[in-house]
Homo-oligomer: A and B are copies of this chain.
């Protein structure tokens, strides 16, 4: 992987456009906003995530000499322009919704205000960061809502799309209310609690399953979660019962068993009976394998006696909606609002604010409006960066997680389910008027 601030982790056209701006002396202030155009099928809202990484990326962003060399050698850029880039810094302002904020289509969750070359160049990576973390947080929170009293752990590292996706998915899941992740490095980097069980290979490396269980319990005396489906799930459970007495004499208590295949609800019921009748009612049942919010909902609706879930691939790839239709669009340049009018992709022009109204503590509706207008309710976009410096204090991950908890408490109950229910988002009259004005102009 490369360093977080890799400034060449961008689309080539950002640099060719910058050369155009430079040659024309275009250095007025531009405002770009990031928003999502529409909800994926079955979804009710999004969760804002990734702002911390965006700010970390922007602060101090600059070109290293070897990066300038590469650009020079590409033959696409003038020496004058390369010299100009050597002095380039990101010194703009950022307004954003705090991480953990619920948001809806067309609502800007981040605005960059800076000389146009600064606001332009960062587009690709800003989208890359905000899109993915918001995508995963928005999926993970559905798992939390589907199984609110269960231990949920992100297991998705191996099939996440590369290492950064794995790390950010772990972070986004924790932000969304998961207990933690199996990804160790997410613990190191973000303080996400890490969880682990055992793999089939550990069982298979032993001649006899029971011996594998005993060895693992010895190595994890306080924390043994035994995987019992390698050969036969119920026989595995029976072996745990037989082993438990023996281990107890050594002061070791088995914490849980894990099921990873077959009909999880049915196996869980049978395993629960085996454990209970063997005196192991304290041993938890943990489950994994092709899970997502729908599978959690179904398992719990069936009354499956499962205490915790490891949720991996379908979560870390957001398999039912692997991308959001999002954009980072110029809304103002040199003091004049701008509007893209491409078919099916028109934008709301100008700098905007989003106000959220609450009725008796419950979210009652949002208003997207021009920045000059004011409204009652909570103004969701707040300063995050000023002249290239992060506004402090920024919330840490625990605080962002807490913010989401609080937000979920005020979410209308109908929006907590897995089916799509509309939430009222209004576009202000002032914004409609501005759009009509711009549409009547000739470009």
Contacts and interface: CB of A to CB of B under 8 A. Distances in A.
A220 interface: yes
Contacts of A155: 11
B342 A163 contact: no
Contacts of A230: 340-342, 443
Interface string A1-13: 1111010111111
A220 B16 contact: yes
Contact of A323 (B4, B22, B159): B159
A74 B26 CA distance: 53
Interface in A210-233: 215-216, 218-220, 223, 229-232
A205 interface: yes
A162 B159 contact: no
Contacts of A220: 16, 19-20, 76
B338 A205 contact: yes
Contacts of A188: 8, 67, 70
A260 interface: yes
Given A30-B205, A218-B20, A9 B184 contact: yes
A165 to B, nearest CB: 4
B165 A165 contact: yes
Interface string A67-103: 1001000101000000000000000000000000000
Contacts of A67: 188
Contacts of A359: none
Which one of A14, A17, A195 has the greatest number of beta carbons of chain B within 10 Å? A17
A30 B205 CA distance: 8
A386 interface: no
Nearest to A194: B12
Contacts of A174: none
A159 B134 CA distance: 11
Contacts of A17: 198-199, 201-202, 216, 219
A88 to B, nearest CB: 15
Contacts of A261: 342-345
Given A164-B163, A165-B161, A184 B12 contact: yes
Contacts of A125: 163
Given A1-B4, A196-B12, A208-B443, A19 B219 contact: yes
Contacts of A345: 261
B116 A132 contact: no
Interface of A: 1-4, 6, 8-17, 19-24, 26, 30, 32, 67, 70, 74, 76, 116, 120, 123-125, 127-129, 131-132, 135, 155, 157-168, 182-185, 187-189, 194-205, 207-209, 215-216, 218-220, 223, 229-232, 260-262, 313-314, 317-319, 322-324, 326, 329-330, 333-334, 338-345, 443
**Top 8 A-B residue pairs of the complex, sorted by shortest distance between their CB atoms:** A12-B196, A162-B164, A161-B161, A20-B219, A1-B1, A13-B196, A161-B165, A262-B343
Given A1-B6, A232-B341, 13 more contacts: A2-B163, A2-B189, A8-B188, A9-B167, A10-B184, A11-B183, A67-B188, A124-B158, A128-B162, A131-B158, A160-B161, A161-B162, A261-B344
20 contacts: A1-B163, A2-B163, A10-B183, A11-B158, A13-B182, A16-B220, A21-B202, A21-B205, A23-B215, A67-B188, A120-B199, A128-B160, A128-B162, A128-B166, A203-B443, A229-B342, A230-B342, A231-B443, A262-B344, A314-B323
